[in-house]
Structure formats: structure tokens, C-alpha cells
Amino acid sequence: MKVLVSGTSGLIGAALKEYLLSKGHTVICLVRARTGAQEEVLIDLSRGCIESDKLEGIDAAINLAGENVAQRWTAEARRRIADSRIKGTSLLASTLAGLEHKPDVLISASAIGFYGDRGDEILTEASRQGQGFLSQVCAAWEEALSPARDAGIRTASLRLGLVLSRSGGALGRMLLPFQLGIGGNLGSGKQYMSWISIDDVVRSIELILECRQLSGPVNLVSPTPVTNAEFTAVLSRVLHRKAVLHVPQAILKLAFGSAMAQEMLLASSRVMPAKLQAAAYDFQCPTLESALLRLLSKESSVCRTAPAR
């Protein structure tokens, strides 16, 4: 399969590229600046153009590009976060829709931020949109796929939960304080965290590539969401360290800004992978303890074992 992938310098994109190559697929990178590699296509958001002639004949496209949301949400940061997702996705979807030989599927990242802060409510792909900046961005991000969908291309939005990887991301930032014995609950610790291992992210994407029945929003989360307090306890147990620190809401909002802290660190999202379960996806790491033991005891095996079905 010939697959276009954007965001290959990021945590998920890098792992996905390595995995797809290991399975014998051809990966073409959608980049904003040339690196000198043969298999790359240039996108220029400022001019609103993509080297579309290089996209003829691709079988699938996977869009994972976007400004990092883990920053203080100034007005300028909010603009960059939204534009990098919405404008980039819209441009890609429109370009693919105009090809003579269209790809079979366009998969684009989104996030469980779509659901907003929902307490202990169980959420599936059928659940309504929530409130807040992230929810608005995710809804517009998913809607940006409409040109491709209207052109008959199967589209899917990956509503990603907290992605666990030893290579970076949230878990990478957590490790040092927990290893030093100063990890702990954030706020009340009662907020639900819907997470997924990097191994299951790339295998889920592979399933969506191959399964024509999967379209629209797809929750990429494990089937066992945990509260922040439960996450703290499991990570401490796996690392054989005590977690004694408690970070009050006021400190988090002062450090990260009120809106960012509330929506990313304190919001509760109890999300279930209903569509993946209906497609009989077999999770490599169905529980948090199994995921942390796998990730922290050795390098991710994402490119070394066959995908589970």
C-alpha cells in the first residue's frame, strides 16, 4: 500500500511510519520543509497549496500534523493550534478530492477533547460534542474532512486519548518526578483519564486503513479508562516509588493558565472505544498496568510483532 503521512516528526507519526515500513508499505511524508528524502511531498499552508501531482496513485492518506497543545493558551497559541489542524486538514482533503485517481481512505487525527469535561459519564462515538476550546477545535478539525468525504473518499477521525509512549509525550514528562518520588494526583484526582498505548495506536490505525466499515469518528482509547488517582497509583506501583505529592487546582491553573489546565489536566473524559470493539480489535495493552509494564520494561514492540485482530 502507498500511504501519505503527515506529522512524521511527531510521537505518533514517527512510530506509525516505522511500523508501516516494517509491514512492507511505501510511506510518503507530507512536509512543510524539504529534508532531502525521496519520498516526500511539500505542503505550504501560507500559499494554500500541495504538490498534488505527487499524490496521484496513493492508496491512503493519514493526517497527524498539528501544533502542540501542551503550552499556555495565549490568543496567538490558540490561533496556531486551530489553524494548523483545521486549515491543514481542509487543504489536504480538498486536494485529495480533486485528484483524478483518489485514495480509498483519508484518516485524520482528532482528540477526545471533542467531548469536553463530562465527569463519570460513559462516552462513545455517538456522544454529543462538549464545550470548551478543545471541543470546538476538534469539531472543526473533523468537519474539515468534508471535501474528501463529499468526493467519495472514506474518511475517519481518530479521537485520540492520552497516548502512552516511553519516547515522549505525557508519560515521558511524568517519569522523572515519579522516579524521584514526587509524583502525585492532579487536583482532586477524581477526573477520568482515557489513555492508549502507542502500540495500540498504530495497530488501530492499520485496522482502519484495512476495514472499509470503519469511518467517521473512531475513539482511540483503551477499554479501561482510569481516574487520575488510579493512574498515579498504578504508575507508582510499576516504578516501585511512592507518590506523595498533591498538586492543587490553583497551582495547576497558575502554572499552565486557567483554560489549558482545566481542559487538559483537570477535565474528566470517560471514553470507550466502541467502534474498535465492534470491529473486534484485540488490544495489546487493555489495562494501564499492562501498558506501563510493557512500555517501561523494554522498548515498544510496535514494529516487531504481528498486528492483533
Task: Return the CA Rg of the chain.
Answer: 19
Q: What is the pLDDT of residue 309?
A: 34
Q: Is residue 285 part of a domain?
A: yes
Helix residue spans in 63-132 (DSSP H) = 75-97
Residue at 109 is within a domain: yes
Answer yes or no: is 306 within a domain. Answer: no
C-alpha cell at 50: 500541495
* Residue 305 maps to a domain: no
- The rounded distance, in Å, linking the Cα atoms of 2 and 70 is 32
All three cell numbers of 131, joined, read 464545550
pLDDT in tens, the chain (309 residues): 999 999 999 999 999 999 999 999 999 999 998 887 778 999 999 899 999 999 999 999 999 999 999 999 999 999 999 999 999 999 999 999 999 999 999 999 999 999 999 999 999 999 999 999 999 999 999 999 999 999 999 999 999 999 999 888 899 888 988 988 889 999 999 999 999 999 999 999 999 999 999 999 999 999 999 999 999 999 999 999 988 888 999 999 999 999 999 999 999 999 999 999 999 999 999 999 999 999 998 544 443 433 333
How many domains is the chain built from? Answer: 1
Specify the CATH number for the domain of residue 101: 3.40.50.720
Among 221, 236, 225, residue whose Cα is nearest residue 191: 225
Residue 53 in contact with residue 99, Cβ under 8 Å? no
Contact assessment for residue 11 and residue 49, using Cβ atoms and an 8 Å cutoff: no
Domain span at residue 268 reads: 2-294
Distance CA 225, CA 276 (A): 15
* 302 located within any domain: no
Q: Quick one: which of 150, 161, 173 has its CA closest to 204?
A: 161
Asked if 97 and 150 touch (Cβ cutoff 8 Å), the reply is: yes
Find the helix or strand (DSSP H, E) in which 253 lies.
Answer: helix 249-256
Residue 309 lies in a domain: no
Quick one: pLDDT at residue 121? Answer: 98
Does 303 reside within a domain?
no
Contact 249, 169 (CB under 8 A): no
CB 54 within 8 A of CB 30: no
142 contacts: CB under 8 Å, gap ≥ 6? 108, 110, 114, 157, 217
H-assigned helices in 50-132? 75-97
Say how far apart CA 29 and CA 39 lie, in whole Å.
Answer: 6
Which residue in this structure is represented by grid cell 486536494?
Answer: 95
Phi, psi of 256 (to 5 degrees): -110, -5
Residue 248 lies in a domain: yes
Which residues, other chains included, contact 125 with Cβ-Cβ below 8 Å and sequence gap of 6+? 159, 216, 217, 218, 219, 274, 275
